[in-house]
Amino acid sequence: MTNPSSPTSGVQLLEVSPEYAGQRIDNFLRTQLKGVPKTLIYRILRKGEVRVNKGRIKPEYKLQAGDVVRVPPLRLPDRDEPEPVAQGLLQRLEAAIVYEDKALIVLNKPAGIAVHGGSGLNYGVIEAFRQLRPDAKDLELVHRLDRDTSGLLMIAKKRSMLRHLHEALRGDGVDKRYMALVRGYWPTAKKQVSAPLLKSNLRSGERMVEVNPEGKEALTVFRVLRRFGEFATLIEAKPVTGRTHQIRVHTQYAGHSIAGDSKYGDDDFTREVREMGGKRLFLHAYELIVPMPDGSQLRVEAPVDELWSKTLERLSA
């Protein structure tokens, strides 16, 4: 599908190729209609303005090869004029790449940068990389990191790599490890937390997660890396399942919340760490072991930022 050169397009008919079979219509339209706000895509779906094979469908409809999708006239930005991303951010993200080949980018995402636009943000990592790599037409996030979490983030440049990695993530083939600075003395014997997690949205639209028997099964494996007396512990966290905010909620549930966590943290602990210069969420995705399509393994590590390092130096002084 190509965007028209004029800002307003007429009716578009998109034929679904086999590689998109099984994808939800809303996700398909988000990848095809670059630059169109998600809210507009969901609005035309809700109003029944998108037709598949001339019939109305729901946003959760799964496409089949050969389907013909009718998209109503939309205002689209010119493909050659994407929402400009600040040059400074582009340079930071280019410098943050730790691995790149023809099908995959892995970067060490800085804390404080969202992975995609939305919720009042015009752009995030994925929008920036679409500007940095304009020739890669199928750039998609493989997974997500919370805005305030730093560390390793994968972006697929080809749909075949995206499908391969999604399958690996579902089948427990990807080994992701995080470092977290938590409150108090984490016992060496506490090697895992298994507690079901339930997502809910507050009136403000903010997403909260809590341990709840009605939630989805969630398991995180932990290991002590370094102690700072009784005050704090640096731990490694390996999420076996991939639930939203999993590590943050499991550490809180264990009684050892993460420093700088405004949502699930301990205000007094966060304040004391901040006084040492630690003004960030102390959760960092530092190691990734990924099975590649050719049967090899890719292993990448990402160093922590200077603020993190200096805070730990002050803690150990």
Count of alpha carbons within 13 angstroms of residue 291, beta-carbon side: 14
Report helix, strand or coil for 246. Answer: helix
Q: How far is 24 from 238, CA to CA, in rounded Å?
A: 30
**Where do runs of H (alpha helix) occur along 23-173?**
25-32, 38-46, 87-95, 125-132, 159-170
Q: How far is 249 from 246, CA to CA, in rounded Å?
A: 5
Q: How far is 246 from 217, CA to CA, in rounded Å?
A: 11
User: What's CA 70's distance to the chain center, in Å?
Assistant: 30
Torsion of CA 60, 66, 67, 71, to 10 degrees: 110
Q: Which residues pair with 223 in a beta bridge?
A: 236
In sequence order, the 6+-apart residues with CB closer than 8 A to the CB of 212 are: 196, 197, 198
114 to 92, 100, 150, 157, 270: CA distances (angstroms): 14, 21, 10, 19, 22
| Residues annotated as part of the active site | 146
Report helix, strand or coil for 317. Answer: coil
Burial of 270 (0-12, 13-18, 19+ CB in 10 A): buried
Q: How far is 199 from 222, CA to CA, in rounded Å?
A: 22
In sequence order, the 6+-apart residues with CB closer than 8 A to the CB of 198 are: 209, 210, 211, 212, 214, 215, 216
Q: How far is 24 from 275, CA to CA, in rounded Å?
A: 47
